[in-house]
Amino acid sequence: MLLDKSGKLLTTLDFRGSKTEQLEKITAKEMLQIVATIQQLINRTETFVVRDLSPDDWAGTVYEPIYDACDDKSDMTRLFGVIVKQILILSPLLFVQDGDGWESRYSRA
């Protein structure tokens, strides 16, 4: 579960303005690996910043399909953030968002 910075419980994501066709370029198997990796990282900490969940170089990592699906770095970071946010919304744990975008900080409530 995820509370946004205003304290509102988020149950869905607003994909307006997002390039959802990028998600379609990632296979189900690849997405499951990405989600599992992010969940493991989230479960190890009480507080995290989105950018800290990914390596500097995505080549050869579980995140490479995100890199391959995107046209540029801003698309890549936006898609990664959408995936992280969706994981948090679906989590049985409660997280609180502080900030926006790549610099968003999330804490367990």
Write down the pLDDT at residue 100: 74
SS3 of residue 10 by DSSP? strand
User: What mean pLDDT comes out for the span 41-68?
Assistant: 91
Residue 93 belongs to a domain: yes
In tens, the pLDDT along 29-47 reads: 999 999 999 999 999 999 9
Does 58 reside within a domain?
A: yes
- How many domains is the chain built from? 1
Q: Is 16 a member of any domain?
A: no
Residues 6+ apart with CB under 8 A from 76: 58, 66, 67, 70
Is 100 part of a structural domain of the chain?
Answer: yes
Q: Which range marks the domain in which residue 30 is found?
A: 2-6+22-108
Whether 38 is in a domain gets the answer yes
Kindly state whether residue 75 falls inside one of the protein's structural domains: yes
Q: How far is CA 77 from the centre of its chain?
A: 9
Distance from C-alpha of 76 to C-alpha of 68, rounded to nearest angstrom: 9
